């Protein structure tokens, strides 16, 4: 069906042919007055077969209804933009963005210029992204399941509360991430001696947790084998240097061995915050580390690494990691060892069953925001 083209269209055809998007001009009867070569290529239909025909005839019934709704929107606002899947002569579909704008020509006739932008590359990219997201979500789920299992395994490394001979032991462990680098031991060496230990592997997360798991096995074997605390530190230091050999992972540790009656305690620390002994109403006594942190140098262990300490009935011993001292308030001030010592002194006035709760609560009150480091705490009372 031949149509007489308006003068303005004849003048602009050349420009419309240069565009890198499909262009169609339709009149107020929805008849096609013009399509450019780009759109002709998209449709796969020669322009002469479309000029003078109603464009809607190329759509399936359900597409017809959808397009009519979009035309109504365009007639209401004067312009419109929407996504569509364009039918092609070969039966395929091409995803496009259709933009329409209505206007009046100099003779007062209403026309619409319709542009078609090929978005098939975008849709392919979106499909690939969706597929990648599904794979990432599945992998994330697998990682979370593995971390949950690892966390359950690491919880078995946490020190446990118990009553043993003349000693009451209360313990706490919290990893700042799902898994962490702290671990502890509360374990009888034999019928007469109880081993206590808290350990802090540098860093957080999976790497630290793997090192912590491996060291737990080494140290527990040494402690249960009855070796001296100094020999245990030397063994662990050699193991770190020879078997791990990393400049990333270091270890601090505080270890104690108390006799069943609670009268004598051996203590050895390596680069660790000092342990504390406090009696209700008294000032804490510090148990300083004599050795340096483990895993940094061969001669880290002091020649007199072990302290021999007398205990009295009512004494309480506190071993902890720096997750309880290296905490900051809203002014940026760190609690530190002295701050924790004051909290321990206050807590010693409480019944032993309340001491742990008191310490953790006061540290939490000091701290601004959530915990930033793993934290372990072992408390002992000589009953």
How many Cβ atoms sit within 10 Å of the Cβ of residue 91?
7
- How far apart CA 322 and CA 108 sit, in angstroms, is 83
- Residues of the chain with pLDDT > 90, as a percent, come to 54
Exposed, middle or buried: residue 104 (CB in 10 Å: 0-12, 13-18, 19+)? Answer: exposed
How many Cβ atoms sit within 10 Å of the Cβ of residue 360?
17
Q: Is the pLDDT of residue 113 over 60?
A: yes
Cα dihedral sign for 270, 271, 273, 278? positive
Q: In the prediction, which pLDDT does 374 show?
A: 85
Reduced to 3 states (helix: H, G, I; strand: E, B; else coil), residue 160 is coil
pLDDT of 168-178, one tens digit each?
A: 999 998 877 66
Average pLDDT value for residue range 150-157? 66
Q: Is the pLDDT of residue 248 over 80?
A: no
- How far apart CA 281 and CA 4 sit, in angstroms, is 107
Q: In the prediction, which pLDDT does 151 show?
A: 66
Q: Is the pLDDT of residue 149 over 80?
A: no
Higher pLDDT, 12 or 64: 12
CB 43 within 8 A of CB 118: no
Q: Is the pLDDT of residue 324 over 80?
A: yes
**Within its chain, how far is the Cα of 212 from the centroid?**
20
Which superfamily is assigned to 7-118 in CATH? PAS domain (3.30.450.20)
The alpha carbons of the chain give a radius of gyration, in whole angstroms, of 39
Global pTM value: 0.65
Please, where are the H alpha helices in the chain? 7-17, 37-43, 47-50, 61-77, 120-155, 205-224, 229-239, 336-347, 352-366
* Least confident residue range of 137-151, 242-256, 301-315: 137-151
Average pLDDT value for residue range 313-332? 95
Q: How confident is the model at residue 321 (pLDDT cuts 50, 70, 90)?
A: very high
Average pLDDT value for residue range 242-263? 86
Higher pLDDT, 171 or 5: 171
Q: In the prediction, which pLDDT does 254 show?
A: 97
pLDDT of 59-107, one tens digit each?
A: 777 777 788 788 888 888 888 899 998 888 888 889 999 999 999 998 8
Measured between alpha carbons, how far is residue 260 from residues 16, 160, 163, 168, 268 in Å? 96, 17, 11, 11, 18
Average pLDDT value for residue range 207-222? 82
* Least confident residue range of 61-65, 132-136, 225-229, 338-342: 61-65
Average pLDDT value for residue range 196-207? 81
Which superfamily is assigned to 157-382 in CATH? PPM-type phosphatase domain (3.60.40.10)
Q: Is the pLDDT of residue 179 over 80?
A: no
Strand 306-310 with 251-259, pairing: unpaired
Could you give the angle at the alpha carbon of 73 between the alpha carbons of 70 and 79, nearest 5°?
100
For the stretch 332-340, contacts whose Cβ atoms lie closer than 8 Å and that sit 24 or more positions apart, written own/partner, are 335/363, 335/366, 335/367, 337/273, 337/274, 337/286, 339/366
- The closest of 119, 112, 89 to 21, measured between CA atoms, is 119
Beta bridge mates, 163: 168
Q: How confident is the model at residue 147 (pLDDT cuts 50, 70, 90)?
A: low
Residue 377: phi and psi, rounded to 5, are -150, 130
Higher pLDDT, 154 or 362: 362
Question: Does residue 52 come out as left (phi exceeding 0), alpha (psi in the -120 to 50 range) or beta?
Answer: left
Q: In the prediction, which pLDDT does 130 show?
A: 93
Q: Six-digit token pair at 47?
A: 């322009």
CB 238 within 8 A of CB 274: no
Higher pLDDT, 9 or 337: 337
Average pLDDT value for residue range 19-46? 90
Q: Six-digit token pair at 316?
A: 């309480």
């Amino acid at each position: 069906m031949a149509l007489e083209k308006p003068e303005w269209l004849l003048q602009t055809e050349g420009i419309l042919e240069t565009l890198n998007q499909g262009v169609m001009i339709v009149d107020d009867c929805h008849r096609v007055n013009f399509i450019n070569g780009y759109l002709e290529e998209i449709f796969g239909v020669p322009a002469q077969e479309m000029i003078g025909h109603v464009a809607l005839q190329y759509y399936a019934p359900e597409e017809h209804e959808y397009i009519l709704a979009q035309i109504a929107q365009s007639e209401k606002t004067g312009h419109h933009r929407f996504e569509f899947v364009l039918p092609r002569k070969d039966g395929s579909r091409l995803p496009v963005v259709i933009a329409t704008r209505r206007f009046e020509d100099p003779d007062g006739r209403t026309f619409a210029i319709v542009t078609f932008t090929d978005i098939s590359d975008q849709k392919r990219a979106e499909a690939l992204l969706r597929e990648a997201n599904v794979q990432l979500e599945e992998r994330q789920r697998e990682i979370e399941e593995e971390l949950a299992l690892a966390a359950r395994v690491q919880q078995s490394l946490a020190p446990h509360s118990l009553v043993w001979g003349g000693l009451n032991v209360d313990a706490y462990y919290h990893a700042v991430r799902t898994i962490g680098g702290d671990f502890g031991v509360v374990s009888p060496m034999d019928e007469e001696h109880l081993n206590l230990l808290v350990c802090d592997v540098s860093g957080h997360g999976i790497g630290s947790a793997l090192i912590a798991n491996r060291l737990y096995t080494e140290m527990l074997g040494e402690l249960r084998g009855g070796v001296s605390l100094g020999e245990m530190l030397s063994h662990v230091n050699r193991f770190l240097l020879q078997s791990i050999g990393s400049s990333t992972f270091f270890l601090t540790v505080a270890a104690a061995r108390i006799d069943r009656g609670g009268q004598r305690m051996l203590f050895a620390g390596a680069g660790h915050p000092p342990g504390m002994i406090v009696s209700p109403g008294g000032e804490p006594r510090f148990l300083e580390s004599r050795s340096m942190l483990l895993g940094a140098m061969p001669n880290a262990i002091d020649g007199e690494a072990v302290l021999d300490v007398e205990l009295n009935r009512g004494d309480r011993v506190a071993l902890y990691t720096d997750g309880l001292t290296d905490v900051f308030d809203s002014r940026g001030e760190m609690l530190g060892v002295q701050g924790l010592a004051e909290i321990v002194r206050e807590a010693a006035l409480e019944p032993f069953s309340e001491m742990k709760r008191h310490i953790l609560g006061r540290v939490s009150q000091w701290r601004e925001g959530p915990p930033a480091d793993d934290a372990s705490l072992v408390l002992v009372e000589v009953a």
